[in-house]
Structure 1
Amino acid sequence: MSDTPRPFDDQPLDSDTLDALTAAAAAEPVPGGVAARIKHRLLGRMAQGEARHVTVQAADGAWQAFQEGVQIKVLHEADGVMSYLLRLRAGAVLPAHRHPTDEECVVLEGSLRIGNALVLHAGGFHLARQDALHAAITTDTGATIYLRGASPHPGCLV
């Protein structure tokens, strides 16, 4: 016996066999409403088993000291981009700094002052552009903010 595989027969199928295979493989049309319900159920089932999502509940994770009067809670980090919360006590100051990438900030609680003129209250959004100087951030009331951008490190401080 030889270990060499045998070549496939290159003879085409006869027309009767080909017609029978084509007819057997033909799909019957499905009414649009039924197709939409099937698709919705299938996608819902697939999403239930999806393991790539990340969820952090409010009680999950630990707050860590970041600097005087400021705590950090990392929510997610990948490829140099971090989503995190900062909790600032009343009177806390984040010194002027630059960001290596754009950084998005949403005030969740309290209020922030950015520089001398800009005040953000709960629900306010601020986008700090890459490499632009970001004025010092202060808070009289204390604040909790959500940020997404480059992982913070002391080298960005001015």
Structure 2
Amino acid sequence: MSTPPLSPDDEASDTLQQLLAAALKPVALEPARSDALRSRLLARARDSVQARARHTRIRASEDGWARVVDGVRAKLLNEGASTRSVLVEFEPGAALPMHRHHEHEQCLVLRGDLQMDDLDIRAGDYHEAPAGSRHGRVRSTGGALIYLRGVSLGHTGRVIRDMVTAWLPTRGSAPHTIRAGEGLWSDLSPGVQAKHLFDGTDEASMLLRVAPGARVPKALAAAEGEYLVIEGEGFVGDALLRAGEYDYAHADADDFELSSDVGALFYLHGKVAQALRTN
């Protein structure tokens, strides 16, 4: 009769592990080798600290939420010279009033649903409102969390301007939507796919799907850009971001890779490499 294998929880297995651990003695390194190893570790830690200083990161656990109207709150992610990026959360039944866009606004629904006139958008949908376009009342039936780029939220004077000018005749291009199931995914590198959402003169927006163990080469990451993890978890350089967390790479940031051990879906906006824009 064969002996059944020990269970990981078996007392004998624990005893064996303890005996093996006790038999493993530390290996003393020569002073020169030990000093060299210590210097390399300290240099790597110093480089990591310096690199992180060129990134702005917002963790999901951080507060920073501010009331917009009853049932709607916003969390500032980044404020640039000409635009700002925020997360906006709607309670069920909450709404924002009619308004006109004076910036090119991009919206990605992260959770829940939004209704704008007869348009219904849901998790994974991307909605774009060019400057000059107008939105009617924006409401959420079941509650929602969205990412917005190109908004006036947080600037009282600009918010009032957006609501007042909404009553003027419509001008500018009409908003448009890319559904979660629409658009083409193109292979970027092994295990990495890109779905283009917006292409501007020198900036672009896209989704990046990174398979477990895959990497986006340094040469293809944005020299200056925003990264939001939508699903899973991934690394921006050596910093781990989980779903709902955000990284802004400043213009002076060193080159870095995007990667994931378990798989991740990133939203990216920035001055991306030409090779990434044309894939």
2:73 paired residue number: 71
Say if 2:58 is the partner of 1:56: yes
Opposite residue 125 of structure 1, the aligned amino acid is Y
Q: Is the 8 A contact 1:93 1:138 kept in 2?
A: yes
The separation in 2 between residues aligned to 1:96 and 1:145, in whole angstroms, is: 17
1:121 paired residue number: 122
SS in 1 for 2:161: helix
CA shift digits 1:52-105 (9 cap, x unpaired): 211101011321111111011111112131110111111111111111110000
Among 94, 97, 101, the residue aligned to 1:95: 97
Q: Tell me by how many angstroms 1:47 deviates.
A: 6.9
The separation in 1 between residues aligned to 2:64 and 2:142, in whole angstroms, is: 23
List aligned pairs for 1:12-51, cutoff 5 A: 49-50=50-51, 51=53
2:140 paired residue number: 139
The separation in 1 between residues aligned to 2:151 and 2:47, in whole angstroms, is: 32
Which is further off, 119-128 or 46-55? 46-55
* TM-score after normalising by structure 1: 0.66
* TM-score after normalising by structure 2: 0.39
Q: Tell me by how many angstroms 1:143 deviates.
A: 0.4
SS in 1 for 2:56: coil
SS in 2 for 1:54: strand
Opposite residue 89 of structure 2, the aligned amino acid is R
Higher relative contact order (CA 8 A, sep 6+): 1
2:162 paired residue number: 156
2:108 paired residue number: 106
Opposite residue 161 of structure 2, the aligned amino acid is G
SS in 1 for 2:55: coil
Tell me, which stretches of 5 or more residues in structure 2 are unaligned? 1-45, 154-158, 167-279
The separation in 1 between residues aligned to 2:125 and 2:47, in whole angstroms, is: 35
Opposite residue 151 of structure 2, the aligned amino acid is A
Which is further off, 66-75 or 144-153? 144-153
Q: How many residues align?
A: 116
